[in-house]
Structure 1
Amino acid sequence: MAGPHVDSGTPPRRTGWRSPADWPRLLILLVVSTGAIGASVAWGVSLVDGRPVPTVAGGVTSGLALLIPTAVCWWAVAGRGRGLGVARLAAGAVTAFAAGMVWNGASVVLNENLPIPSPADVGFLVFYVLVLAVLGLLVHRHLAELRIRAGLDLTASILTVLALMSVPLDPLVGRALAGQMSVGLALTLLYPALDLLLVTVVVGVVMFGGARAVPGWGWLTAGLIGFMVADLGFALGAIDADSVTTSALQLGWFIGLALIAVWAVGLAAASRCGRQTSVARTRAEYSETVVTSTAASATFAGLAVLVLGTHIQLSVETRVLAGLAIVFYGARAQLAFREVRRGAALLRMAHTDHLTDLPNRRALYARAEERLAPGAADGALLLMDLDRFKEVNDSLGHHMGDRLLIDVSRRLSSCLPEGALLVRLGGDEFAVLLNASGAGPALALAERVRATTAEPFDLDGMSVEVAMSIGIALFPEHGEDLESVLRHADIAMYRAKRTASHVHVYAPEVDAAGTKRLGRVAEVRAAFDRGEFIAYYQPKLDLGTRRVAGVEALVRWQHPAQGLLMPGVFLDLVEDVGLMHRLTQSMLSQALDQVVEWHRIGVDLTVAVNLSASSLIDVDMPGRVRAMLAERSLAPQVLELEITEDLLMADRRQARAILADLRSGGVRIAIDDFGSGYSSLAYLRDLPIDELKIDRAFIEPLAGDPRAEALVSATVALAHGLDQVVVAEGVEDEATLDRLAELGCDQAQGYFIARPMPGGQIPEWLATHDFTAGVAAHRLGRRG
């Protein structure tokens, strides 16, 4: 039985014939044969002196054939259950039809005739109304999705079947059109038409909504076809008295009712099992077969009726119906051609990158099925990434970033060999699927790509240079499916970023760590979701007052398996996957929350947080910082933002604007690791800087290196001349601390003073460390 399957996250219930929910259906099928026998006896009429005479045995078995499906339907829908209302309507339809059959059977036994109309017709009409109501409830949320093509197909199918039915029913139709219509004649014509209507509706909904649109639609359709056969047989019996003896046709009512009862019980079982009974947008493959076969069959049938009209006399109505059916199918064919063209356009759009007009990742997967199939020629996959594209994109604007990607794609296309497939995977990543054996052709193409993209790009008069890192994986040597080849090319690309050539061919013997790295990247992403990146705080000591002036927030990774990890283990990974901005935001939020907690208990400290490169090209960052301070009712002076010298080299103008915006709001700015890079005195003059932090490389040798002492002394004098505070990093011993104080250094931090610690430990540490009495009285060993 056709029916939907929905993964609810729990083990599915058994729905085979051994499931209790399916026992009623098995019982119904077992009694169908009994009912058929009873029907053949009860309705198999022998003319005895011109009168129909049924047998007692036939009456009993036919009664059971009606009673058992009805009773089982109500047994299936008894009790409480979500969605059983629809199944109860279906059970009501079965009951109404069975009641009509019982009345007719009683009329034959008691009155020896079958009057039309009679109270039985009320039951039959109620049946059609209830079944239509059930179908409407099943698909009412999706009726709008059955578009024009559904209406054309349904209309054409109805016209075709009406044309076919009108051939044997032509005398009845002629009587009706001649004004000899009676209620009995109207009902005789109505029942086959209603059967046809329901069948067409069911098939139409399945055609355009999928096989799951009407659970158990096959049982329902088969039952309605049985009704149609019986109703047509009855109509034909009204034409010719001799046809009344053709009792086999009357079995359609009994068999059809049993099949429809199976459908009703199936609805109840689906509701109890929690199955979805609405239209599923994903169609089954055989639904498409139904569409094609139904349309083709109906079209040929309409043509057959017209051809038949050239050999025998057909009524005008029959010819009109067949002609209209063909007209509707002609309109449907035109619509189908338009849909085919539209589908082709949509398919191209689905496989094309909207920005560069290159094939996209979906196209790569589609083409790779053929390229990487068993027996296909060897080849290579080049995975290419623009280095530091995000900084260019953020500093110049997304529109310039898009322009750059378009120009890059054009240059890449110009250097491809014949048969190569260039795709944009997303962002600044491109890939080339190359039909070439061995690494040689792939390396040659990589060099052409790098040479082509090394030339500056002109973006509205601005010269922009980018570099391309390329990882190469071969197939089938490095993988026989696209997932494996892509993974190995990705590993090779990240290694290429750290080589002078920026090109690397995957080598399992040296790139084994790359696989671990990919797993590490996944861990980093998950760590953000789990809140595993936490802030530790290292105090900064004022060398004049010997009081703690503030703290610096330092990131740590509280790994669930490896414990507390230092930044050197994971910061490169965070940067590579483009999550440094998120890490900065997390540290800012944690640090400001900790300041609020310290203030609550009377600890008045400032906090310094390191900014990433992406922060200095993010024009919205100052506004977010102000908002974070305002949300916590903190003064801007409690926050200090630290940047390194190399971050200022990318776009000094943008950095100056952002830093000036921050400083104008009261946030302090510090240069971290001063002297570690290619320092330029110009930025000390141009940028709004409050504090210089001398790199530990100059502090550690201070006690025994006169040149280091001279540099520190000069830096202190320079900073003081610019009205800047000087902080010494990496203080490891008391002698260094004392000498820094003598040189005029303002503050110091390092392991000699305190190791980084969780924010909750800072108040206790402050309470147990009094620096004002002098370091001689309180020797400051390594603590924490």
Structure 2
Amino acid sequence: MNRLLLGLTWLMLAVYALWLTVRTGADASLLLDGILDIGTQIAAAALAWSHLRQAGRRRPEIVAMAAAVSVFALSNGVYVWLYALGIEYDFPAPTDYGFALFYPLVLIAVGLAARRELNTRAGPEVWMDSALGMLGSGAVIAMVLNEVLLRASGNALGASLALFYPLCDLFLAAFVLGMIAMQGRRLRPYWLLLLGGLTAFTVIDMMSALSLLTNSYQPGGGTDVLWTIGLVLMATWTVDPHEPAPDTEHQPALLLPGLATLASLAVLVAAGTGFKGDHVSGLALGLAVLTQVAAGVRTLYAFRQLRRLTLLRKQASTDDLTGLANRRAFHGDADGRLRRLSGRRSCALLLVDLDRFKEVNDSLGHHIGDRLLLEIGRRLEAATRPGDLLARLGGDEFAIFIEDVDEPGAELLAESLRAEIARPFTLEGIALRTDASIGMVLAPEHGDTLTLLLRRADIAMYQAKRQRRGQLVYSGDSDDSGPMRLRILQELHSGLEQGQMALHYQPKLDLVTGEVHAVEALVRWSHPERGLLYPDSFLTLAEDAGMMRRLNQAVLTEALDQAALWHRARRPLSVAVNLSPSSLVDADLPYELAAMLNQRGLPAEALEIEVTEEFLMSDHDRTREILTRLRDLGIRIAVDDFGTGYSSLAYLRELPVDDLKLDRSFVFPMAEDARAAALVFSTIELAHSLGLHMVAEGVEDQTTLTALAENGCDQAQGYFIARPLAASALDDWLATRERTIRAP
């Protein structure tokens, strides 16, 4: 039905236009001309109303446009009927008020359509530019036509009123033209129908304005068809184009407001210098002034938008936390520098990764971690040259691109950067120390593309971290370390999920009674392909990958489960577990350990926590708080690897510690080195004077064991006593030892 009505409307328009062409020069046939003219306009109104059922989201705008076409057709019909009765009015006639209502209805329809198509992506600049186009063009046409009409009619009021229709046409056309310009290549063609209809109205209204003022207008002229053409085009605009709205960012067109501003300036200049000896009309002058005001507002808004775009562009290339360049900016800048250098000069890429940064986030909170990253960024920026490219790639990883530097220069810079990072930080009253691992590559020696350089710097960095070397220049021999590391990491994830971690227990011999009441739990990885793996092959990787807390949880669970079995078997062995710093500074750790002990019916003394000197000195206040809460539960605290650190002995007096475990590097040479033996014996006396128990690690022979016992050492462990054993093997060892002791 809609297609039939559309075809009928255009057929009637074609017949009407053909009739006007055929009778050119003849007198108008009021009956035939009126029927064809009014009939075509009524058909156009019916066409517009017929699309309401399928309108969907366009319903409001189609209602407004259909009402506009209907009002115009009705007013035109009344005008022709009055003219046929011989009733004539000077302009403006009563029917002109009906014609005037046509324009706000069209404006509503166009505004609703613009709002729908531009949606929320259309900012104020869209409406500002459209207003500028309408005001500027209106000022020009008001000045020119007012002069022409005034000279022709001598009626100043009539001339001003006659400008109403052309100005309204031009306003609407400028608005639609702005819409078309903003859509650019994604223009929906049906907007051209509306622009064509308004253009036809503009032309005919300009032509008829003069004839109306001079009372020379005669209905039925050949140009009258332009009104009908305009109405048919506007009615056709309501036809649903069945196209999805273009998903694009609309940009304001600058040509239209620019031309409008220049046009209004021309009107103001004409008003100041005189236009053909007469003054410019007040309407034209007012529109020109409004155009300049709107242009000023638009300019201020444009500057504001420009500042906002500049800020957004900066934010897009800047790391929010540190203010350094981000990964995107680093890639763009470093790529450009590599292409510019093109092998003519040597350059270096340094990849900096913090050691154990995840522990800071886990134990102290992300806000402390963020502040630490901010401070490190500042130190790195101060330690690099102004021309060097420094960026934070993400997380705790930084990159530095340096031009005109050789390998010794890159290594020297890496050393200075590590020294800067190693200086203590004080954040919210907490003293922190951190280290970094740096991987270095040189261009063009190690690659000529940024992707390749970053990959190889990453390999060197992880190799430096794994070997605890601090910094390392890439070597092609280790090029498979990256994939191998990822493979091991994935296997470790699977191993934790599948319960592949196993514990071996090394007994601690009581040197006073000769009995075993305690063991140390040592983790092993029962790898399905590579067999039993010792901690040095996976602990560092687990620590770097942030998996230590999961691993510690698995170790604690198995150790306490085994301790519960021993207690039920009337063999109450206490189990010592070495926990990572990230777990030890967890405020919930005491509650979790208490719950685990209660679930298994174990007393608190069944568990001993071993800590390192490094942990004890990392955050004195927090360490005291956590250890005190553990001691309050009855859990014993031992200092592992005692003597290997460089910290003050004051913590032995201030912190709640029960045992000292003297590192094997002091115990092992005792039998042959008198100075080593003296250090061990003096340490035993120190521990006893502080009320602490002494445990000697690394006992490898009977001479050492006898010397430790004679000098008051409390406990000893080492291969001479027993290697770390699986729980079942340890049970057999203990049973055999008990039978040997009881034998006469």
TM-score (structure 2 length as normaliser): 0.65
Instruction: Give the letter aligned to residue 297 of structure 1.
Output: L
Q: 1:41 aligns with which of 12, 15, 22?
A: 15
| Contact kept in structure 1, 2:627 and 2:637, CA below 8 Å | no
Instruction: Give the letter aligned to residue 236 of structure 2.
Output: A
Q: How does 1:300-319 map to 2 (within 5 A)?
A: 300-306=262-268, 311=275, 314-319=280-285
The count of residues paired between Structure 1 and Structure 2 equals: 684
Over the aligned positions, Cα root-mean-square deviation in angstroms equals 6.7
Matched, 1:231 2:201: yes
With over 3 angstroms needed to count, the CA separation of the structure-2 counterparts of 1:585 and 1:610, relative to structure 1, is: farther
- d(CA) in 2 for partners of 1:318, 1:89: 34
Instruction: Give the letter aligned to residue 132 of structure 2.
Output: A
Matched, 1:222 2:198: no
Q: Give the equivalent residue in structure 1 for 2:409.
A: 444
- d(CA) in 2 for partners of 1:318, 1:613: 80
Q: How does 1:225-624 map to 2 (within 5 A)?
A: 225-236=195-206, 238-239=208-209, 240=211, 241=217, 244-246=221-223, 247-248=225-226, 250-263=228-241, 265-266=242-243, 269=244, 283=249, 287=251, 290-306=252-268, 311=275, 314-337=280-303, 340=306, 344=310, 347=313, 351=317, 359=325, 361-373=327-339, 376=342, 377=344, 379-385=346-352, 388=355, 405-413=377-385, 420-425=387-392, 430-436=398-404, 441-447=406-412, 450=415, 454=419, 470-475=438-443, 478-496=446-464, 504-507=472-475, 509-516=476-483, 519=486, 523=490, 527=493, 552=521, 554=523, 567-576=535-544, 579=546, 583-584=548-549, 587-588=552-553, 591=556, 610-614=578-582, 621=585, 623-624=587-588
In structure 1, stretches of 5+ residues that fail to align are 1-23, 78-84, 757-764, 779-784
In structure 2, stretches of 5+ residues that fail to align are 85-92, 212-216
Q: 1:625 aligns with which of 586, 589, 599?
A: 589
- 1:383 is displaced (CA, Å) by 1.0
Residue-by-residue CA offset, 1:665-707 (whole Å, 9 max, x unaligned): 42432334668889998766664333566879999999xxxx9
SS at match of 1:623: coil
With over 3 angstroms needed to count, the CA separation of the structure-2 counterparts of 1:402 and 1:189, relative to structure 1, is: closer
| Contact kept in structure 2, 1:156 and 1:328, CA below 8 Å | yes
Instruction: Give the letter aligned to residue 572 of structure 1.
Output: T
Instruction: Give the letter aligned to residue 226 of structure 1.
Output: G
- 1:371 is displaced (CA, Å) by 1.9
| Contact kept in structure 1, 2:325 and 2:390, CA below 8 Å | yes
With over 3 angstroms needed to count, the CA separation of the structure-2 counterparts of 1:87 and 1:562, relative to structure 1, is: farther
| Contact kept in structure 2, 1:351 and 1:362, CA below 8 Å | yes
| Contact kept in structure 2, 1:195 and 1:228, CA below 8 Å | yes
| Contact kept in structure 2, 1:219 and 1:259, CA below 8 Å | no
Residue-by-residue CA offset, 1:345-393 (whole Å, 9 max, x unaligned): 6655665668877655444334234323488455523215376595999
Q: 1:690 aligns with which of 658, 671, 689?
A: 658
Q: Give the equivalent residue in structure 2 for 1:19.
A: none
SS at match of 1:291: coil
Matched, 1:641 2:620: no
Q: 2:139 aligns with which of 153, 163, 172?
A: 163
- 1:721 is displaced (CA, Å) by 8.4
With over 3 angstroms needed to count, the CA separation of the structure-2 counterparts of 1:93 and 1:49, relative to structure 1, is: closer
| Contact kept in structure 2, 1:381 and 1:486, CA below 8 Å | no
Q: Give the equivalent residue in structure 2 for 1:5.
A: none
- d(CA) in 2 for partners of 1:568, 1:721: 35
- d(CA) in 1 for partners of 2:261, 2:354: 61
- 1:320 is displaced (CA, Å) by 2.5
Once the two structures are overlaid, the 10-residue window that deviates more, 106-115 or 484-493, is 106-115
- 1:488 is displaced (CA, Å) by 2.3
Once the two structures are overlaid, the 10-residue window that deviates more, 188-197 or 218-227, is 188-197
SS at match of 1:385: strand
Q: How does 1:23-34 map to 2 (within 5 A)?
A: none
With over 3 angstroms needed to count, the CA separation of the structure-2 counterparts of 1:225 and 1:481, relative to structure 1, is: farther
- d(CA) in 2 for partners of 1:485, 1:700: 45
- d(CA) in 2 for partners of 1:218, 1:337: 30
